[in-house]
């Protein structure tokens, strides 16, 4: 089965779009669930969040989904600050991170625009083999 490069790229982009939609849906559901937790437990403290984050990281590490040399304390502190800030409604840090991410994405897209990818037609390799004819030499694939 042969497919064109356009068909292949179209299929990949379709999958990426589906994954992006799924991630956005999961993010929204998680955010709503966390807002419900915050409203149900108004006395939720930063220590509670830190304890939950540390426990989850320990389980993740024991399950082998993290490297043994990863420092759980440093990761836990950053995650706790981020989650607790979000729960308290401090979106300024999140906005800064999103702006930085968008800027990097834009720079990467502009850098890719300058690159040209040449694709040989399907019969090009066969054509090369015919042009060589009786000459001594080999085409290496």
- Is the whole-model pTM more than 0.85? no
Residue 20 placed within a domain: yes
Number of folded domains in the chain?
Answer: 1
**In angstroms, how far is the first alpha carbon of the chain from the final one?**
20
DSSP 138: -
- CA dist 35 to 3, 31, 71, 77, 117, Å? 47, 6, 29, 21, 47
Residue 31 placed within a domain: yes
Each residue of 75-128: pLDDT tens digit? Answer: 999 999 888 888 888 778 778 888 898 999 898 888 877 776 677 776 776 776
Each residue of 26-71: pLDDT tens digit? Answer: 999 998 998 898 899 989 999 999 999 999 999 988 888 888 777 8
Residue 23 placed within a domain: yes
How many H-runs (helices) and E-runs (strands) does the chain carry? Answer: 5, 0
Q: Could you give the CA distance from residue 12 to residue 16 in angstroms, rounded to a whole number?
A: 6
Residue 129 placed within a domain: no
Residue 57 placed within a domain: no
Range of the domain at 16: 1-42
Residue 3 placed within a domain: yes
What distance separates the 2 farthest-apart alpha carbons in the chain? Answer: 85
Residue 47 placed within a domain: no
Residue 10 placed within a domain: yes
């Amino acid at each position: 089965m042969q497919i064109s490069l356009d068909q292949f790229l179209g299929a990949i982009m379709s999958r990426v779009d589906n994954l992006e939609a799924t991630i956005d849906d999961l993010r929204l559901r998680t955010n709503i669930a966390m807002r419900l937790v915050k409203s149900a437990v108004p006395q939720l403290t930063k220590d509670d969040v830190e304890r939950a984050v540390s426990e989850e990281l320990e389980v993740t590490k024991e399950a082998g989904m993290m490297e043994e040399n990863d420092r759980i304390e440093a990761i836990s502190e950053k995650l706790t600050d981020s989650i607790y800030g979000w729960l308290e409604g401090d979106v300024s840090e999140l906005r800064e991170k999103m702006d930085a991410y968008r800027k990097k994405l834009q720079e990467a897209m502009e850098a890719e625009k300058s690159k040209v990818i040449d694709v040989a037609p399907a019969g090009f390799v066969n054509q090369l083999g015919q042009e060589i004819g009786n000459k001594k030499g080999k085409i290496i694939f």
